[in-house]
Amino acid sequence: MKLVRHRTRAGLAVAATLPLVAGALAMGVPTAQADSNNRQVLTNTKPLWATARADHGTAAGSTTVNARVYLAGKDAKGLADYARAVSDPTSASYGKYLTAKQVQERFGSTKQQIAEVTAWLKNSGLTVTGSNQHYISVSGGKSAVEKAFNTELRNYSKDGQIYHAPAQAASVPASLDGAVLTITGLDNAPKQSKHDDLPPPEAVARQAGPFSSYYGSNVAKGLPKAYGGSAPYVIKGYTGKQLRAAYGAKGYTGKGVTVAITDAYASPYIAKDAAEYAKRNGDAAYRTGQFSQVLPTAYNSIDTCKAAGWYGEETLDVEAVHAVAPAADIVYAGAASCNDADLLDSLNKVVDNRLADIVSNSWGDVEANETPDVAAAYDQVFQQGAVEGIGFYFSSGDNGDEVANTGTKQVDTPANSAWATAVGGTSLAMGKGDKYQWETGWGTTKSLLSADGKNWAALPGNYLYGAGGGTSKLTPQPFYQRGVVPDTLSKQNGATPQRVVPDISAVADPSTGFLVGQSQTFPDGSVKYSEYRIGGTSLAAPVISAIQALAQQARGGVPIGFANPGIYDRFGTSAYHDVTDHPLGQGQSIADVRVDFKNGFDAKGGFITSLRTLGHDSSLNATSGYDNVTGVGSPADGYVDSYRPHGH
Cα 152 to the center of its chain, rounded Å: 34
- Looking at residue 197, what is its pLDDT? 59
393 and 491 part of one domain: yes
Domain-located, residue 5 = no
Residues 161 and 247 in one domain: no
Identify whether residues 32 and 108 lie together within a single domain. Answer: yes
Q: Are residues 178 and 245 in the same domain?
A: no
Strands 607-613 and 329-335: unpaired
* pLDDT for the residue numbered 4: 55
262 and 178 both lie in a single domain: no
Task: Determine, yes or no, domain membership for 205.
Answer: no
Domain ends where: 142, 159, 184? 184
pTM for the full predicted model: 0.93
Cα–Cα nearest to 150, from 180, 108, 129: 180
pLDDT number for residue 36: 52
408 located within any domain: yes
Does residue 596 share a domain with residue 462? yes
DSSP 630: T
The sheet carrying 135-141 orders its strands as: 127-131, 135-141, 64-71, 180-184
- Please tell me whether residues 325 and 436 are part of one structural domain: yes
Q: Is residue 8 in some structural domain? A: no
Number of domains observed in the structure of the chain: 2
Task: Please indicate, yes or no, whether residues 180 and 244 belong to a single structural domain of this protein.
Answer: no
Q: Are residues 139 and 286 in the same domain?
A: no
Domain end: 184, 213, 232, which one?
A: 184
Question: Quick check: is 223 in a domain?
Answer: no
Coil vs helix vs strand at 118: helix
The answer to whether residue 458 is domain-embedded is: yes
User: Do both 173 and 248 map to the same domain?
Assistant: no
What's the average pLDDT block by block, 10 residues per block, for the chain (648 residues)?
44 31 39 65 90 94 95 95 96 97 96 95 96 96 95 93 94 93 89 52 91 96 95 97 97 98 96 98 97 96 93 97 98 96 97 98 93 94 98 97 94 97 98 97 97 93 96 97 98 97 98 96 94 96 98 98 98 97 91 95 94 96 98 98 79
pLDDT for 227? 95
User: Is the domain of 562 the same as that of 458?
Assistant: yes
The domain in which residue 118 lies consists of 24-184
What CATH number does the domain containing 562 carry? 3.40.50.200
Instruction: Determine the pLDDT at residue 586.
Output: 84
In angstroms, the CA 617 to CA 399 distance is 9
Q: Would you state the pLDDT for residue 18?
A: 29
- Domain presence at residue 224: no
pLDDT for res 201: 86
**Dmax (CA) of the chain:** 78
Give exposure, 536-554, as e/b (b: 16+ Cβ within 10 Å): bbbbbbbbbbbbbbbbbbb
Burial 79-110 (b: 16+ CB within 10 A, else e): bbbbbbbbbbeeeeeeeebbebeebbeebbbe
Tell me how crowded residue 587 is: count the other CB atoms within 10 A of its CB: 7
- Same domain as 476, residue 330: yes
**434 domain residue, yes or no:** yes
Domain termination residue (choose one: 184, 209, 230): 184
Q: Before 502, cis peptide (omega within 30)? A: yes
